[in-house]
Amino acid sequence: MPSAAPALVARTALLPRPDDLVALLPDDVAATDLVTWLRDGDGLVGWGRATSVTTSGPDRFAQADRWWHEVCAQSVVRDAVQLPGTGPVAFGSFSFADESAYGATLVVPSVVVGRRGGTSWVTTIRTGATLPQQPTVEPHPAPAAPAKPTLRTGALDREQWKSAVAKAVSRIQGGDVDKVVLARDVIAECDGPVDLRWLLTRLAGGYANTWTFAVDGLVGASPEMLVRREKGLVTSRVLAGTIRRTRDDEHDLALAAKLARSSKDLEEHEYAVRSVADALAPHCRSINVPESPFVLHLPNVMHLATDVAGVLTDESSSLRLAESLHPSAAVCGTPTPAAARVIGELEEMDRGRYAGPVGWMDASGDGEWAIALRCGALDRENPSAVRIFAGCGIVSGSDPAAELAESEAKLLPMRHALGDD
């Protein structure tokens, strides 16, 4: 059982608009106590740990949600801004698998700075009885560039992973499962402690239209929004179906048109959209599923993308909605239980928090949870190492060599951020 929920006091006040939220992260706080949620310059950054909870197992979402509810019920809040993300905020990351040794964490930082359109604010949070003073919020010197990291094989080397893909294809052709998402890990070893602020600067600068996140030592730039809940509206961005970009824009446009017509990718995409719409159905009315996907352009890859929206009909928090949507066919497969079994048999690794929900939630339960993709986990034992991940949706027409190349393209954001240009 998680620890008892403490009482918090929180104060949110307006702040002059900071240019760069990442620059506000202090350089003398442990990387696991820095949090970030950024897109196109707006979002939230935070540091310190007013309180936190860890949970594990199949109830990890419900336990964390209950804890946060109790914390908020006994908190004293002075919120002069009243926007989503003001007042006390919890940042969380959850393991992909129920049985994972990596569990889940909700962290409530002691300071959160937010920026949304023209409004910026700072929230200070403490356990105790007196309202905290507003801290000084100012940019810190830019972090130094790291040296090129060394890459080591993770659970499977390239050949082994290709043969896992080939086995997945035969399982699909044999009728065990329709689609399965297979992932691989690579260990990046740097020549000194990894500077999270450097990684975040690179990710937020290079991948501005993704959600750049850092929570409890998990860092990345995810293009996939599992669920956003804001004032009764629920939205989800589903991605599945990928093509690697070349360095030639004209050629990429032709590839995008090909992706939008590719029956293999459209089939893979359809599975993922269906799994999201079905999971939202018990919680929402007026669910809108566009008839065909659009092509999302990222610097390294292009994806087929569909934005699903609905109106919330129950009290589910954004975290409980994320639980209902996890794992979607975009990161597990279809049907879910059979795909999860094949993953367990073929990947030969614990995914940890990769491909699990990562995000934030405020006291109202509104929040945003992305799927932790294009990310890495800082190694708690070795501060110079990061375990980075990438996975691919496998369907009956998948070719192992092409999937390996796709996984390499999906590793690029983290490799570049780590200084491997």
Cβ of residue 165: shortest distance to ligand ISJ, in angstroms? Answer: 12
Angstrom distance (rounded) from CA 370 to CA 188 = 23
Tell me which H or E stretch contains 64. helix 60-73
Stretch that binds ligand ISJ, among 64-72, 78-86, 189-197, 234-242 (CB under 6 A): 234-242
Mark 316-345 with x for binding to ligand ISJ (rule: CB under 6 A) and - for no binding. Answer: --------------xx--------------
Angstrom distance (rounded) from CA 102 to CA 120 = 34
156 binds ligand ISJ (CB under 6 A): no
Question: In angstroms, how far is CA 340 from the centroid of its own chain?
Answer: 19
Angstrom distance (rounded) from CA 147 to CA 382 = 17
Stretch that binds ligand ISJ, among 60-68, 127-135, 358-366, 388-396 (CB under 6 A): 388-396
Q: If 0-12 CB within 10 Å is exposed, 13-18 middle and 19+ buried, where does residue 148 land?
A: middle
Q: Kindly tell me which of 31 and 388 has the beta carbon lying closer to ligand ISJ.
A: 388
Q: Which of 39, 228, 283, 374 binds ligand ISJ (CB under 6 A)?
A: 374
Catalytic residues, by residue number, are: 179, 224
172 binds ligand ISJ (CB under 6 A): no
**Cα three-residue angle 214-362-94, rounded to 5 degrees:** 45
Cβ of residue 411: shortest distance to ligand ISJ, in angstroms? Answer: 9
Residue type, 293: P
Stretch that binds ligand ISJ, among 29-37, 276-284, 334-342, 383-391 (CB under 6 A): 383-391
DSSP letter for 391, please.
E
Mark 285-314 with x for binding to ligand ISJ (rule: CB under 6 A) and - for no binding. Answer: ------------------x-----------
Output the DSSP codes for 317-359.
Answer: -HHHHHHHHPSPTTTSEESHHHHHHHHHHHS-S--TTTTSEEE
Q: Kindly tell me which of 15 and 218 has the beta carbon lying closer to ligand ISJ.
A: 218
Size of site (CB under 6 A) for ligand ISJ: 18
Applying CB under 6 A, the residues found at the interface with ligand ISJ are 181, 183, 224, 239-242, 303, 330-331, 373-374, 389-393, 410
